[in-house]
Amino acid sequence: MLTVTGLFAAGCTGHGTPPADDGRGQVHTARPSTSQPGTSEPSAEADLPSVLAVKIDNVRAARPQTGLDAADVVYAEQVEGGLSRLMAVYATKLPKAVGPVRSARESDLELLRQFHEPTLAFSGAQGKLMPLINSAPLVARTPEKASGAYFRGADKVVPHNLFLHPGRLVPATPGAAALTNGFRYGPAPAGGVKDTSETVRYPAARFTFTWSQSRERWLVSMDGAPDVTADGKRLAPATVVVQYVKIRKSAFHDFLGNNTPYTVTVGSGRAKVLRDGRAYDVNWQRAKATDGTEFTTKDGSPVNFAEGQVWVVFAKAS
């Protein structure tokens, strides 16, 4: 069992009430190329693919969530009060809807620098943080900036009922090339130990990943209950990474005065990779924010992940 400590989450909510859901469907098309002005030659900068990242509410009142199973990568971070929040990253497919959408944190900006100008969908952020978000190399999309992309669901209460039509923010998926976070996919590394269940604890949240031999996936449980999507699908990533990182205080606080923790994702440390019913103790390194994260075995060999969704849970390094 993996036990970690952390700090608490209350979040900012979006303002206003976006229009109701009209049932817009999934989008699976490729990103069109963009030409340089006055030429037929594509602009290299414009053709760089961009992912969609969505901040997802993860308190009990927000579950079951919608569209989380379609994400290529799901990051889990500690927020104020020992709670957790998710960031879902979409590159290869978009679900009909995603949510509940919640607020951003300062450390999201560092995490997202590894992608080229990603679109970040979130409900808002603390007033003093918004200038940093607006000046970051990303496309910030809140309900105020893209009201037609958001809607309020009827089965949850405010602030846990804000949802997104992702196809209205990114009309085309960029494809796997947009996942410039350093992850490698392929055969499992040598070694490892048989492992069928791992639990990561925050002070007020708990993640459990249980290996399913029949599905060849890790079944996700949250706070002791099976985690399913709104349409009843069990969340089941192919690879889970427990990445031990430094978590420090930020310059920001929530409305109750609780300090917002900052999850440091640049640097190096240790991690545990779960795939194929086995656990691998590995090292991670990310030299600068614009780099992806490299995972290597103790002898320095690159670590491959299993094909499919990846969950990365950031845990406090001891």
Residue 8 forms part of a structural domain: yes
Whether this prediction's pTM lies above 0.75 is answered by yes
Residue 34 forms part of a structural domain: no
Residue 102 forms part of a structural domain: yes
Flag whether pLDDT at 37 surpasses 80: no
Residue 226 forms part of a structural domain: yes
Residue 233 forms part of a structural domain: yes
Which residue range(s) make up the domain with 15? 2-19+45-181+189-316
CATH value at residue 245: 3.50.90.10
- Can you give the pLDDT at residue 25? 34
- Can you give the pLDDT at residue 6? 33
Give the HSE-up count for residue 47: Cα atoms under 13 Å, Cβ half-sphere: 8
CB of 123 closer than 8 Å to CB of 199? no
Percent of the chain with pLDDT over 90: 76
How many domains are contained in the chain? 1
Residue 35 forms part of a structural domain: no
- Can you give the pLDDT at residue 47? 52
Tens digits of residue pLDDT in 291-300: 999 999 989 9
| CB-based contacts of 75, cutoff 8 Å, min separation 6 | 86, 87, 89, 111, 311, 312, 314
Residue 151 binned pLDDT confidence (cut-offs 50, 70, 90):
very high
Peptide bond before residue 159 is cis, with ω within 30 degrees of 0 = yes
CB of 255 closer than 8 Å to CB of 10? yes
Which helix (H) or strand (E) segment holds residue 259: the answer is strand 259-264
Type of residue at 239: T
Residue 166 forms part of a structural domain: yes
Instruction: Give the mean pLDDT of 150-164.
Output: 95
Residue 51 forms part of a structural domain: yes
What does the alpha-carbon distance between residue 309 and residue 318 come to, in Å, rounded to a whole number? 27
Tens digits of residue pLDDT in 228-257: 999 999 999 999 999 999 998 877 666 656
Tens digits of residue pLDDT in 112-125: 999 999 999 999 98
